A = this chain, B = another copy of it.
Amino acid sequence: MEKPQNGEKEELKASICGYDSLHRLLKDNLNPHHFQEVSRLLTGLNGGKALETIALPESATALSVEHGFDLQAFSFCADKELLREPRVVRVGLIQNSISLPTTAHFVDQKKAIFEKLKPIIDAAGSSGVNILCLQEAWMMPFAFCTREKRWCEFAEPVDGESTKFLQSFAVKYNMVIISSILERDINHGEVIWNTAVVIGNHGNIIGKHRKNHIPRVGDFNESTYYMEGNTGHPVFETAFGKIAINICYGRHHPLNWLAFGLNGAEIVFNPSATVGELSEPMWPIEARNAAIANSYFVASINRVGTETFPNAFTSGDGKPAHADFGHFYGSSYVSAPDASCTPSLSRNRDGLLVTDMDLNLCRQVKDKWGFRMTSRYELYVDTLARYVKPDFEPQVISDPLLHKKSS
């Protein structure tokens, strides 16, 4: 295996007082009774009970030890129903740092990431994972901070080498795989997209989805490289359930989450690449809110590590030019529609999170809470239709005494 780019010093810097997750810090520093209550408040109770951990096969744990990746496994339950059998799906999420320095030949960099991922994907496969999702643009460094166009050479067609690499695992393990890549669309003037490819459990390409919302914040200069997606909000009906992909920055947009829900998604994957300084307090909030509001599961993945680039760049913040984007804080996790969630993977190490979820929970929560039925969508069609017109006037009721002097 390739040596990860971020070594021990980087890992310590990126830790929380020496712990690699909030969950582990709390577990080690609170008494068990306190920890239990704190966990209940922070991660909820699935069906009234704490989440159970899953025992994984020895082969998977051996791989995690040998290759030094975090491996955690949890199970969400749902109520038994009279007319439907449980529909338990095992989902795997992989977070990883890049492998070679960004100065290496692009072909070598990509191959090294493939090599690094192999044992983690094998661990997922041997754990019986049904649907596996990788992080955003997993096949390259997240080079968009640089604004250099040469990184476009990492782009591939939907059926390119990264897809081919994963197709063999899909067949081998009878596993659906979601692969978020930098796409080059050779049929439309060789333009670039940020695209998730959905590979079926027979190795076939079911379809693709292109990132709907492109950031203009911090060093996320992605709007320099690709445009807003043109694939709508597709839900992919796979052998293991109806899934959708909300790529990275789209998690900040409640309407984006909503549209996947209206199309019937039961699990929405959010492959991401985001850094600590900017978004970390939002990370445990937005995905859970989406799961609650839309009565589906959300699987959140963030890449790990600090990526240093050959040429320094500025960040529009008046500070000197520098060569890295900040720390990608990992912390991948899964949120359930009943407001419970798993603990997060490590903040600074590669990891595989395995989660069992009974998809029956989605409709059970819909029936319990009734969010869809109480949503009054007609009202909002009207509100939004008025809002998008240039002459929109907001509904404001002004205090008629507003400009009277205070007594």
Per the bound structure, the CA–CA distance linking A258 and B387 in Å amounts to 11
Chain A 367-380 near chain B by CB (<8 Å), digits 1 or 0: 01111011111111
Q: In whole angstroms, what is the CA distance A228 to B377 when docked?
A: 13
Query: How far is A20 from B84 in the complex, measured between Cα atoms in Å?
Result: 42
Q: Which residues of B contact A107 (CB under 8 A)?
A: none
B253 and A371 form a contact (CB under 8 A): yes
Smallest CB-CB separation from A403: which chain B residue?
Answer: B239
A17 and B134 CA atoms in complex are apart in Å by 40
B370 x A217 contact (CB < 8 A)? yes
Copies per assembly:
2
> Which of A27-35, A95-103, A348-356 is the interface stretch?
A27-35
Contact, CB under 8 Å: A34 / B38: no
Separation of A293 and B148 alpha carbons in the complex (Å): 30
Q: A22-B38, A377-B388 are in contact. Are A204 and B399 (CB under 8 A)?
A: yes
Bound-state CA distance A87–B43 (Å) is 36
Residues A383 and B38 in contact in the complex (CB < 8 Å), given A281-B44, A401-B200, A402-B237: no
With contact pairs A339-B285, A381-B388 given, residues A34 and B41 touching in the complex (Cβ less than 8 Å): no
How far apart are A252's CB and chain B's nearest CB, in angstroms? 6
A233 touches B383 (CB 8 A): yes
> Is A252 touching B37 in the complex (CB atoms < 8 A)?
no
Tell me how far the C-beta of A315 lies from the nearest C-beta in chain B, rounded to whole angstroms: 12
Residue of B nearest to A255 (CB): B380
Given that A280-B41, A292-B282, A395-B234 are known contacts, is A252 also in contact with B406, CB under 8 Å in the complex? no
| Residue of chain B at shortest CB distance from A33 | B17
Report the bound CA distance from A402 to B176 in whole Å. 11
Interface readout for A194-220 with B: 1 if CB under 8 Å, 0 if not? 000010111010110000111111000
Interface residues of A (CB under 8 A from B): 16-17, 22, 25-26, 29-31, 33-34, 37-38, 40-45, 171, 174, 198, 200-202, 204, 206-207, 212-217, 228, 232-239, 242, 249, 252-255, 257-259, 262-264, 279-282, 284-286, 288-289, 292-293, 339-340, 368-371, 373-381, 383-385, 387-388, 394-402, 404, 406-407
- Chosen A-B contacts, 13 in total, with CB atoms closer than 8 Å, are A22-B42, A25-B37, A44-B280, A171-B407, A200-B401, A216-B373, A234-B395, A234-B396, A235-B397, A238-B399, A253-B374, A263-B396, A381-B384
